[in-house]
Homo-oligomer: A and B are copies of this chain.
Amino acid sequence: MEEILREKNIKVTDTRKEILRILSESKSAISYNTIQEKTALKLDKVTVYRTLDTFENKGIIHSIPSEDGIKLYSFCKDDCHDHDHDDNHVHFNCEMCNTTVCLYHVDIPSVELPKGYYMHSSKLIVNGICPECR
């Protein structure tokens, strides 16, 4: 776990290790609030948000906007580098349990855009019912 931080050349601190641990143990993408719920430590709000920003910029995690506008965070599985994420997988949001998971193995299909439009990236969020809630 600490190795991830060392690899990315950022200082190893308790807060960072803790947030990394929580993220790594989570099966779904989680919010700032969930991180606070899951920790026994006293984590400062600003530090948590800054840590998440750092992780995202370093390509350790990526963020997904939830249905209600708040940001969810999830580990990057593929090779993501500084500011260069490779996360073109589909996200699934369950309408029952209201969790969002990364479907790392489901790629976003390419679409035919009208003339003149050029794609850099895309996000596909599928809403429905997850296996657990079925």
Interface residues, chain A, CB within 8 Å of chain B?
65, 69-71, 90, 92, 95, 103, 105-106, 108-109, 111-131, 134
Number of copies: 2
Question: Which residues of chain B come closer than 8 Å to A119, judged between CB atoms?
Answer: 126-128
With the chains together, A120 CA to B134 CA distance in Å? 13
B126 touches A125 (CB 8 A): no
A92 touches B113 (CB 8 A): yes
Question: Which residues of chain B come closer than 8 Å to A114, judged between CB atoms?
Answer: 103, 105-106, 131
Question: Which residues of chain B come closer than 8 Å to A126, judged between CB atoms?
Answer: 111, 113, 117, 119, 121-122
The answer, among B116, B122, B128, for a CB contact under 8 Å with A125, is: B122
A115 touches B95 (CB 8 A): no
The answer, among B71, B103, B116, B123, for a CB contact under 8 Å with A124, is: B123
In the assembled complex, 7 residue pairs joining A and B whose CB atoms fall closer than 8 Å, in A order, are A69-B69, A90-B113, A106-B114, A111-B126, A114-B131, A118-B128, A120-B127
Give the shortest distance, in Å, between A110 (CB) and chain B (any CB): 8
Closest to A129 in B: B118
The answer, among B92, B116, B118, B121, for a CB contact under 8 Å with A117, is: B92
